[in-house]
């Protein structure tokens, strides 16, 4: 692993792009473009927002996302966002 990281760092110093051994930039799928970079940023922001949703769910219900999904699948009308807010007037 140290050898590969050293080669990657040497390539970064030479041409400013990440790569693998002597292939700079390393892009076997051909997705190195400014539009793909923008999509990656947007997907990262969406992931951060969804993580905040997980955190809010844990604060409101006191259970994790898998337990919440399992409870909702067992009783969709009794275990959803509105019933959780009404039933849990105080946060855990």
Q: Which two tokens stand for residue 13?
A: 């110093």
Protein fold of 33-92: Chlorophyll a-b binding protein (1.10.3460)
Higher-pLDDT residue of 73 and 25 is: 73
Instruction: Delimit the domains of the chain by residue range.
Output: 1-32, 33-92
Task: Note the pLDDT tens digit of each residue in 16-45.
Answer: 777 776 767 767 677 778 888 899 999 999
* Percent of the chain topping pLDDT 90: 16
Report the alpha-carbon distance of residue 58 to residue 67 in Å, rounded.
10
Question: What is residue 90's predicted lDDT score, i.e. its pLDDT?
Answer: 57
19 contacts 25 by C-beta, under 8 angstroms = yes
Residue 25 and residue 17: Cα distance in Å, rounded?
6
pTM confidence score: 0.55
């Amino acid at each position: 692993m140290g050898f590969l990281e050293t080669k990657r760092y040497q390539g970064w110093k030479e041409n400013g792009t990440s790569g693998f051994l002597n292939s700079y930039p390393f892009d076997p799928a051909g997705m190195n473009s400014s539009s793909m970079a923008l999509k990656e940023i947007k997907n990262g922001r969406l992931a951060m927002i969804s993580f905040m949703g997980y955190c809010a769910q844990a604060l409101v219900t006191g259970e994790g996302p898998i337990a919440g999904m399992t409870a909702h699948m067992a009783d969709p009308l009794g275990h959803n966002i509105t019933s959780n807010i009404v039933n849990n007037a105080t946060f855990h």
